[in-house]
Structures are given as structure tokens and as C-alpha cells.
Amino acid sequence: MQKPQKLINLSRRNAIKYGGGFLGTGLAATVLGSNLVKPEPVAAQNPIIAQNKDITPDQALRKLMEGNKRFVEQKRQTPNQTRERLVEVSESQAPFASILGCADSRVPAEIVFDQGLGDLFVCRIAGNIAIAEEVGSLEFGSMVLGSKVLMVLGHSRCGAVEATIKGGRFPGQIGTLIDDIQVGVERAQQQSGTNKLEMAIQANVIHQVELLNQSVVLGDLIDKNQLKIVGGYYDLETGEVTLLT
Ligand SMILES: [Zn+2]
């Protein structure tokens, strides 16, 4: 099923939608015609927000990968999971990273990156696909909450990608997921290599990164060096995340 122009105008539509809802809850937003003004967090003096304010996208990515290294080496610190942190982030949040990950039960972002409350803005959906609602959420995470790095995280033996390769008819709404994974599967079929499933999983991650890069809102943040979008691959056996882009 073709979904032409899926992302065209999508960003602005969602930004305006959030502008009328989320932003109204304590954040000053101005949406005038085509000029979208980045809202200033009301709680700019809040230590949580101040803490991440000056972090660069590269530093945010490093922090994320260091957390994964601790996880792999079984040296987790389980940061920011105290009662104090819970209270601290109850008023506001400033996650330093966003994850577009698969819904797979074996890839929980906070655990595999060794993070805690208020650290990650996570969207999970089978096949880690950048459909409209996910893109809108991630735009919110970076534009309003200030997340500095956005990682699309695929993983080994992804059932959603495997089902796409096998094809056939799917009950309910499952087929809608398949449509969005198809591009990556087709790209992998053009490549040489024996493990078509792993190749398709990685090609799908790269395709979803490309879709996110089409977002006007995210593109603007990237241009200002306030955001970086990367693709990652999680190995179910080792727990290690490898950067693909
Ligand atoms: Zn999966």
C-alpha cells in the first residue's frame, strides 16, 4: 500500500496540534501561520532542564552509548531511580535522548541504556517505524523537551521484519506495520549477503532515519546543532548497541 506524501506537511500539522495542547500546559508557544516559534520552557531555571541545556548532541550520544556499555559489561548504575529523582522530575522533564525502538519485550530502552526517570523520551512500536504519530511525538521530545539525540533502534531477530520478509496476509491492523517495513526489506534484497533478515533489519533502521530526517521540525534543530539523528542495532544475545549511521 502506497502512502505518498506521508510526511509532507505532517510536521507542521503535528507541531500545531501540540501547540494547541501540550504546549499550552505551562509552556508558552507561538504558532503564527507558517512561523513556528520554539517555545521557551517556563521552568528554564529548573535544575533538571538546566542540566541538559548545554549538552551537545555528541555528548548526549556518548552518554547513551556509555550507558549501554555499562549494561553489556554488567556494570549498571541504575541512575536516577531514587525517590528523590521521582520527585525532582515530577514537575518538569528534560530527557537528553529519544529512542524510536521496537515494541519487542526484550529491548526496554531504560534498561539497555542504563538510564532512569526523566532521561529518555521513548517511542516504541513494532518494527521501530517512523509513522506520523511517532514522528510527531519525537518532534515534541526534541523541540519542546530538548532531547539532543534521537536514535532509531532496531534489533536482531525482529519479528516484525521477519514477518514482512515472509509476506502473506495478516489479520487486524498488523498489515499496516508491514507496509512501513517493506522498503527496508526490498533494499536488503538488492544487497549481497546471506543473512537477509539481519540485513533487512538494518536497512529498515536506515530507512526510518531517512524518514525522520524529512521532518521540518527535526531538520531545523539539526541545522542549529541542537539535535542528531542516528540509527542503532541492538544484539539480543550480547545486549550491545552498534551505531549504523
Ligand atoms: Zn522487533
> Is 90 exceeded by the pLDDT of residue 13?
no
pLDDT in tens, 183-204: 999 999 999 999 999 999 999 9
- Ligand 1 centre to CA of 88 (Å) is 33
pLDDT band at 102 (very low <50, low <70, confident <90, very high): very high
Q: Ligand 1 mean position to 64 CA, how many Å?
A: 20
Using DSSP's 3-state secondary structure scheme, residue 151 falls into: strand
Output the nine-digit C-alpha cell for 74. 554488567
Using a 10 angstrom Cβ sphere, with 0-12 exposed, 13-18 middle and 19 or more buried, the burial of residue 21 is exposed
Q: What is the pLDDT of residues 206-225, one digit of tens each?
A: 999 999 999 999 999 999 99
DSSP tag of 23: G
Across the chain, mean pLDDT equals 86
Please enumerate in sequence order all residues whose Cβ is within 8 A of that of 181, keeping only pairs 6 or more positions apart, or say none.
127, 129, 160, 161, 164, 200, 204
Quote the pLDDT of residue 46: 60
Dihedral sign (CA 177, 180, 182, 184)? negative
Q: What is the mean pLDDT of residues 158-180?
A: 94
Q: What is the pLDDT of residues 32-72, one digit of tens each?
A: 344 555 555 444 456 666 667 789 999 999 999 999 999 99
pLDDT: which is higher, 3 or 240: 240
What is the identity of the amino acid at 3? Answer: K
Q: Which residues are annotated as a binding site for Zn(2+)?
A: 102, 104, 155, 158
Contacts of 45 (CB under 8 A, 6+ apart): none
Ligand 1 centroid to residue 134 C-alpha, Å = 16
CB atoms within 10 A of CB 108: 12
* Pairing between β-strand 228-234 and β-strand 149-155 as defined by DSSP bridges: parallel
What pLDDT does residue 106 have? Answer: 98
100 phi/psi in degrees, rounded to 5: -105, 95
Q: Spell out the domains of the chain, with CATH numbers in brackets.
A: 46-243 (3.40.1050.10)
